[in-house]
Amino acid sequence: MSDAPLMLSISGLRGLIGKSLTPLVAAQYGTAVGMWFKTQVKTPKIVVGRDSRPSGEMIQNAFVSGMSSVGCKVVTLDIATTPGVALMIGRLHADGGIVITASHNPIQWNGIKVLRQDGVAPAPEQAQQIIDLFKNFNPKYVEPAQIPETTFNDTLPLVHMQVIEQNINTDLIRRRRIKVVLDSVHGAGAPETVELLDHLGVELIHLYAEPTGLFPHTPEPTKENLTELAAAVKEHGAAIGFAQDPDADRLAIVDENGTYIGEEYTLALCVLHLFMQDDCRPKVTVANLSTSRMIDDIAAKFEGQIHRSAVGEANVAKLMQEKKAVVGGEGNGGIIWPKIGYVRNSLVGIGLMLEMLAMQDKPLSEIVATIPSYAIVKDKVDIKPGMSDTIEPSLRSAFGDAAFDTQDGVRVDWEDRWVHVRPSNTEPILRLIAEAPDEAACRELIDKCAKAMGL
């Protein structure tokens, strides 16, 4: 095995193709995941989809072989979004789902994400059970005659469109004939998103639609990677620009002026739009600790509630269920709408944003201007052994007068700013994120953290 990292966490498995993630590793992980599902169901039925990376089919085939070897019945969707796989678990009455994806990571990476029967990633203790089965490999293969047939289902784009359009004002959106630019980054999002946008009657300019997995730019939907989208919105006189990541669970937004609104605004705008509806009850939302406090301001405006979870979709979803939140998500552009499911879903964000534009009939920039704005700076450093243990004592020595939240790394809060330092779940890095009234104040917070930790 290469020294290249194989990441195992609450977010699943992620590695470098041909180095830490090989067909052998994928098959072994498939066997372990299959045995975990068999602790709950005698013959599990599992839905498997993949993003468009060239390595996806290879990893999918190896993983499915591992699952089949221990007696799991697999239904493949082939190229599919992460929220689409979650949706099809329920539609096909399956016991769980798998997405072969490395999300926003570059092409040399791939990964395997596990979803439970409810469409949510396993809880931390369940994720650890899967990791233990993988590391302490002791497969219990079934007899040849007991190996179930693997089947294929191609209905996802239609199903995904139908479930979203049933929950938004489709007729109003159609009447507005909104012009949209969409960058699908040659990822998995295009087939399902085009089905939705066609049904909503938008005028679509589509960048990088074909799901080839050959990313035309760095696939993370951040400002520096979306200059072409911003230019296209302005050139075509579009009302809005959308950018998806490769598995289409994250969404970034560009306004009608070609200005990058960004990932943090995806959740904030969706919360604003839903909280404005009279029938939105209770006005409760959930976000992780690294998400902008814009939603705190929005919740306060509508006399709503905001709750904070540890970073990770499963953590957000769990707290949303506990608090009966009507909407939630993460500041990386991940919007979770329980009406559709407890998984981040870029198509949900697109549907809600189009409904918002149709209802308000004003430019996106004017709507954005109603939300109190902050600067947010996200930094990262390579993590070293033992570094995680130094976060809390170092930051307490530097910021002894502030409010501390230690459920995921350390978040330090003041009235109008915060800083969050935590190890990543998906990469061998330490993340440092700060939000404040201006960028200089963010940098000051991050620099103070770095100095306190000796970075």
pLDDT in tens, 21-66: 999 999 999 999 999 999 999 999 999 999 999 999 999 999 999 9
Last residue of a domain, one of 320, 347, 368: 368
Which position among 11, 103, 290, 309 bears the catalytic label? 103
Is a pLDDT exceeding 70 seen at residue 224? yes
Does residue 130 share a domain with residue 15? Answer: yes
113-127, 240-254, 414-428, range with the lowest pLDDT: 414-428
- 103 catalytically annotated: yes
> Do 253 and 229 touch, CB atoms closer than 8 A?
no
Higher pLDDT, 207 or 314: 207
Average the pLDDT over each of 243-252, 282-291, 372-381 and give the range with the smallest value. 372-381
User: Predicted confidence band at 360 (pLDDT cuts at 50, 70, 90)?
Assistant: very high
Note down the domain range covering 289: 158-368
Give pTM, 2 decimals. Answer: 0.93
Lowest mean pLDDT: which of 319-333, 414-428, 437-451? 414-428
Lowest model confidence (mean pLDDT) among 161-170, 271-280, 343-352, 418-427: 418-427
Q: Are residues 362 and 418 in the same domain?
A: no
Mean pLDDT over 295-309 rounds to 96
Q: Are residues 364 and 381 in the same domain?
A: no
Same domain? For 177 and 261 the reply is yes
Alpha-carbon distance of 306 to 60, in angstroms, equals: 38
**Average pLDDT for 237-250:** 97
Q: pLDDT exceeding 70 applies to what percent of the chain?
A: 99
CA 305 to chain centre: 23
Q: Determine what percent of the chain is predicted with pLDDT higher than 90.
A: 90
On the question of pLDDT at 426 being above 80, the answer is no
How is 55-68 classified by DSSP, letter by letter?
Answer: THHHHHHHHHHHHH
Q: How far apart are CA 454 and CA 408, in angstroms?
A: 20
Domain membership of residue 72 (yes or no) is: yes
Among the ranges given (76-85, 132-141, 165-174, 386-395), the one the predictor scored with the smallest mean pLDDT: 386-395
Does 384 share its domain with 295? no
Is 165 found in the same domain as 150? no
Position 10 scores a pLDDT of: 78
**Which pLDDT value is given to residue 123?**
87
Q: What's 441's domain CATH number? A: 3.30.310.50
Are 127 and 211 contained in the same domain? Answer: no
- Please determine, for residue 199, whether its predicted confidence score (pLDDT) is greater than 50: yes
Structure tokens at 245: 């990541």
Same domain, 174 and 81: no
pLDDT in tens, 375-399: 999 999 998 888 889 999 999 999 9
Could you tell me how far CA 8 lies from the centroid of its own chain? 17
Domain count, the chain: 3
pLDDT at 98 over 90: yes
- C-alpha 4/C-alpha 31 separation (Å) is 22
Report yes or no: 21 and 108 within 8 Å, Cβ to Cβ: no
Domain membership flag for residue 125: yes
Average confidence score pLDDT of the chain? 95
Query: Is residue 455 scored above 90 in pLDDT?
Result: no
Give me the phi and psi of 89, to 5 degrees please: -60, -50
- Are both 63 and 166 inside the same structural domain? no
Residue 409 gets the label, from left (phi > 0), alpha (psi -120 to 50) or beta, of: left
- 200 phi and psi, to 5 degrees? -85, -5
The mean pLDDT value for 162-189 works out to 98
Which pLDDT score is estimated for 1? 38
Confidence (pLDDT) at 119: 93
If asked whether residues 342 and 381 sit together in one domain, one would say no
Domain with residue 91: its CATH number is: 3.40.120.10
pLDDT at 3: 58
In this structure, are 364 and 383 located in the same domain? no
Q: Over 50: is that where the pLDDT of 345 sits?
A: yes
**Considering the domain boundaries, does residue 1 fall inside one?**
no
pLDDT in tens, 34-43: 999 999 999 9
Question: How much is the pLDDT for 364?
Answer: 98
Q: Packing angle between helix 23-38 and helix 56-69, nearest 10 degrees?
A: 40
Using the 3D structure, point to which of 368, 396, 412 is the last residue of a domain. Answer: 368
CA distance 35 to 237: 53
Phi-psi category of 99—alpha, beta or left, where left has phi over 0 and alpha has psi -120 to 50?
beta
Among the candidates 329, 346, 368, a domain finishes at 368
